[in-house]
Chain A
Amino acid sequence: RKEVEQDPGPFNVPEGATVAFNCTYSNSASQSFFWYRQDCRKEPKLLMSVYSSGNEDGRFTAQLNRASQYISLLIRDSKLSDSATYLCVVNGLSSYKLIFGSGTRLLVRP
């Protein structure tokens, strides 16, 4: 079983749609959780950290369920510029390392 699992997609949605990505992780001791965005052939960039209470940044909402070891990202009112791969990231058994999922690809069409 992979340490961080994501649906690879692609999710193909029209502009203005709401889309949700899910992620599960295997290490119950993980303390830090993130969503990164990666554009084609570019480096990953931090989209948002994920907190136990859930957090929102504009059109983006992240949720964490520790009991189920589940993380989600909701994108409202999708824009063409949201097209990218979204990587779910947790810290590993040794907190110095980040463990990435394989990513979920989002395509937003006009």
Chain B
Amino acid sequence: ETGVTQSPTHLIKTRGQQVTLRCSSQSGHNTVSWYQQALGQGPQFIFQYYREEENGRGNFPPRFSGLQFPNYSSELNVNALELDDSALYLCASSPGTGDTEAFFGQGTRLTVV
């Protein structure tokens, strides 16, 4: 096991609602990245947090936002949910930014109906 935990594991929301997903990073890791994986696709980078600051962002709209806390755990918030937001959301922690190895949590499967 990677030591990265995500909650909840599954979630069903209605279009237009808001959702918060949570991630606890591996001990000693100060960097958390979030990815969205649609069915049949590879994970797509959403953003990364390093020491509580956003360190980079992918091509996702502003309704995708995040936070990192002093203990390096993190949240992903998505407002105004759309049907296309249905996906597996993956959190990855790493000991630093850059090209260090990323350890993934088991993911949160979000279904928007």
Residues of chain A at the chain B interface (Cβ within 8 Å):
4, 31-32, 34, 41-46, 49, 87, 91-92, 94-103
Contacts and interface: CB of A to CB of B under 8 A. Distances in A.
B55 A98 contact: no
Contacts of B55: 96
Range of interface residues on chain B?
20 to 34
B46 to A, nearest CB: 9
Contacts of B43: 44, 87, 98, 100
Contact of A43 (B40, B48, B90, B101): B90
B88 to A, nearest CB: 8
A108 B76 CA distance: 37
A43 B35 CA distance: 11
Interface in B60-113: 88, 90, 92, 97-99, 101-107, 109
B48 A103 contact: no
B33 A97 contact: yes
A98 B102 contact: yes
B40 to A, nearest CB: 7
Interface of B: 2, 31, 33, 35, 40-45, 48, 50, 55-56, 58, 88, 90, 92, 97-99, 101-107, 109
A49 B99 CA distance: 11
Nearest to B57: A97
B107 A43 contact: yes
14 contacts: A41-B109, A42-B106, A43-B104, A87-B43, A92-B45, A96-B31, A96-B56, A96-B98, A97-B56, A98-B33, A98-B45, A98-B102, A101-B42, A102-B40
